[in-house]
């Protein structure tokens, strides 16, 4: 819905686990002054339904006064108890009297976009809460998923030296923008345009984080590069006096020091008509339910653009033919044609129809990774050089099946053969990945990852961030209101409407050195195990 109304929206929800108390008291009044007043004595359970047909027995006036007092005290106690119970959530409470239609609702005030008229300059709304009013960080009872521990590893290079302003300036030569947050407001200094709308939706995501946790992030300053491949090479910054520039981007590799951050598509990818992650997850879940695993096509499926990287062109050689059946079904995605045809063949929820789905990186990591892993199909993960922020928390043979980069076709064929021989194990791997994506990578956790990464990063700054000359203040209104079409639709759809009423998840501790070595060794051993099985399989074919 693209229309923006200048008003608050009220969302009322009933919690099915909490009984609502509704009562209607029917009073039988009579003009005869000598007629005794009658009252209906009801249990609180009976207050849930009208008592139109309930007989009322007369009592004396003194007794009636006592009954009235007890009744009012009881109602007051129940009301206080109800408010106490429902304080932490969104609930609806109605108290309807005779002839009364008044409704009292507990709700979270929502703050939709407040767009100016065409002849007015767009401004930021000033009535959005500046604090959340929730307890300090150390009261969080929910621990973050384990992949949050990689935040410590990504920032480890600056733990001893801290981050100076000179270090940040060193990242400017490849950055697309500088982001400064001061007193909860975002300011941006733009240097160059990014591919498509990557920079816009990345900044939009950060603005939504500020709306979700207003007043909780400390002041900070950073540089962001929206291109694919990492550029801060670790070999260029060796020794105790090394001063690597802290540069944020979407992926990194084992030879780089770039700081990985959630990519723009979590808030929607306008050029490919992909909706925000929160909505996509719901759609993929419905797609998973439509086609049970055993009913899915017993082949490996991939659809994408092979022209972006040699490894993808090589993958296309593995397509099933009359001569060679590699157990694969590979399709070229023509985004230009899809755009002209309204993206009818690009619905992600309609692509969870095969038992196996292939992931292969493009020029760097690929946005498609999360959509593939969420399908409950066993992901055949072609060995990748690059990683994003969450994949490091996943393990081969637990969440995906590793595929050799150098012998893709043989590796893919064996993986499908193994899965069809061991369908329960293959299904378990696929569903474990789906659970990880739907639970550990739900949108609330994406925001929490952003929060903790920026919070830990800010602790390393050795200077006080200030608003740079020439920067502009950004807010949801100035970014979304002037837009039209799909761009605006996705922003409205991903808008955070009110502050969170819970704290971010609790940040897990860093890996101990031996603990990290064991984790990486387990991953390597699982990959070697698959390579051994694969080698034995092909030897048996000759």
425 found inside a domain = yes
Same domain, 426 and 280: yes
Same domain, 97 and 174: no
High-pLDDT (> 70) share of the chain, %: 79
Of 53-57, 338-342, 395-399, which gets the smallest average pLDDT? Answer: 53-57
Q: What is the pTM of this model?
A: 0.80
130 found inside a domain = no
Same domain, 528 and 472: no
> What's the pLDDT at 41?
32
Give the CA distances from residue 408 to residues 95, 198, 377, 380, 413, in Å, rounded to whole numbers and listed in that order.
66, 31, 19, 10, 9
Give the span between the Cα atoms of 222 and 456, in whole angstroms: 13
Region of 229 on the Ramachandran plot (φ > 0 left; ψ -120 to 50 alpha; else beta): beta
Residue 378 has pLDDT above 50, yes or no: yes
Same domain, 186 and 226: yes
Cα-to-chain-centroid distance, residue 186 = 21
Same domain, 421 and 349: yes
The arithmetic mean of pLDDT across residues 231-248, rounded, is 94
**Count of domains in the chain?**
3
Give the span between the Cα atoms of 41 and 44, in whole angstroms: 10
Range of the domain at 212: 137-264+465-510
Same domain, 313 and 414: yes
The arithmetic mean of pLDDT across residues 88-99, rounded, is 32
Same domain, 350 and 325: yes
123 found inside a domain = no
Residues forming a β-bridge with 300? 328, 356
What is the chain's mean pLDDT, rounded?
Answer: 84
309 found inside a domain = yes
169 found inside a domain = yes
The arithmetic mean of pLDDT across residues 182-206, rounded, is 98
Of 62-66, 477-481, 521-525, which gets the smallest average pLDDT? Answer: 62-66
Same domain, 167 and 303: no
Same domain, 353 and 389: yes
Q: Which residue has the tokens 């080698």?
A: 535
Same domain, 417 and 476: no
Give the span between the Cα atoms of 151 and 453, in whole angstroms: 6
Give the span between the Cα atoms of 350 and 319, in whole angstroms: 21
Same domain, 425 and 495: no
The CA-to-CA distance between both ends of the chain, in Å, stands at 61
Per residue, the 3-state secondary structure of 312-375, as one string, reads: HHHHHHHCCCCCCCCCEEEEECCHHHHHHCCCCCCCHHHHCCEEEEEECCCCCCCCHHHHHHCC
> What's the pLDDT at 72?
53
Q: How do residues 70-87 score in pLDDT, each as one tens digit?
A: 455 444 443 433 333 222
449 found inside a domain = no
The arithmetic mean of pLDDT across residues 475-495, rounded, is 96
Per-residue confidence band for 308, with pLDDT thresholds at 50, 70 and 90: very high
Residue 88 has pLDDT above 70, yes or no: no
Same domain, 20 and 142: no
């Amino acid at each position: 819905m693209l229309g923006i109304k200048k008003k608050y929206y009220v969302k009322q929800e009933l919690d099915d686990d909490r009984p609502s108390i509704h009562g209607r008291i029917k009073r039988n009044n009579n003009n005869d002054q000598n007629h005794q007043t009658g009252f209906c004595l009801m249990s609180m359970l009976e207050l849930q339904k009208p008592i139109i047909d309930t007989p009322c027995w007369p009592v004396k006036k003194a007794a009636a006064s006592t009954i009235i007092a007890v009744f009012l005290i009881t109602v007051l106690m129940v009301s206080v108890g109800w408010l106490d119970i429902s304080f932490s959530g969104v609930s609806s409470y109605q108290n309807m009297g005779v002839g009364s239609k008044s409704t009292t609702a507990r709700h979270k005030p929502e703050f939709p976009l407040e767009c100016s008229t065409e002849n007015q300059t767009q401004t930021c709304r000033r009535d959005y809460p500046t604090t959340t009013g929730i307890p300090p960080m150390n009261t969080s009872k929910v621990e973050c998923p384990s992949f949050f521990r990689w935040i410590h590893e990504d920032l480890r290079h600056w733990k001893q030296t801290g981050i100076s302003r000179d270090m940040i300036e060193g990242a400017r030569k490849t950055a697309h923008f500088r982001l400064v947050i001061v007193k909860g407001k975002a300011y941006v200094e733009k240097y160059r345009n990014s591919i498509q709308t990557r920079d816009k939706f990345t900044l939009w995501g950060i603005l939504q984080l500020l709306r979700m946790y207003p007043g909780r992030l400390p002041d900070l300053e950073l540089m962001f590069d929206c291109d694919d491949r990492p550029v801060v090479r670790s070999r260029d910054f060796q020794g105790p006096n090394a001063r690597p520039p802290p540069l944020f981007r979407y992926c990194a590799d084992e030879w780089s020091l770039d700081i990985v951050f959630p990519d723009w598509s979590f808030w929607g990818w306008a050029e490919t008509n992909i909706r925000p992650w929160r909505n996509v997850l719901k759609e993929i879940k419905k797609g998973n339910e439509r086609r049970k695993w055993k009913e899915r096509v017993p082949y490996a499926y991939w659809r994408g653009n092979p022209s972006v990287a040699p490894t993808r062109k090589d993958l296309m050689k593995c397509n099933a033919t009359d001569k060679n059946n590699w157990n694969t079904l590979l399709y070229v995605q023509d985004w230009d044609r899809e755009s002209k045809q309204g993206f009818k063949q690009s619905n992600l929820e309609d692509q969870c129809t095969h038992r196996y789905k292939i992931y292969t990186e493009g020029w760097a990591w690929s946005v498609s990774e999360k959509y593939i892993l969420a399908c409950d199909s066993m992901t055949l993960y072609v060995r990748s050089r690059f990683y994003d922020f969450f994949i490091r928390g996943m393990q081969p043979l637990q969440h995906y099946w590793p595929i050799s980069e150098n012998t893709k076709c043989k590796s893919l064929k064996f993986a499908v053969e193994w899965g069809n021989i061991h369908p329960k194990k293959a299904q378990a791997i696929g569903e474990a990945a789906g659970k990880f994506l739907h639970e550990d990578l739900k949108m609330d956790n994406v925001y929490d990852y952003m929060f903790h990464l920026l919070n830990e990063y800010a602790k390393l700054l050795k200077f006080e961030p200030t608003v740079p000359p020439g920067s502009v203040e950004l807010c949801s209104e100035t970014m979304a209101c002037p837009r039209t079409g799909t761009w605006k639709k996705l922003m409205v759809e991903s808008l955070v409407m009110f502050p969170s009423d819970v704290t971010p998840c609790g940040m897990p501790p860093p890996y101990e050195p031996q603990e990290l070595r064991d984790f990486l060794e387990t991953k390597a051993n699982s990959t070697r195990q698959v390579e051994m099985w694969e080698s034995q399989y092909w030897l048996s074919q000759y």
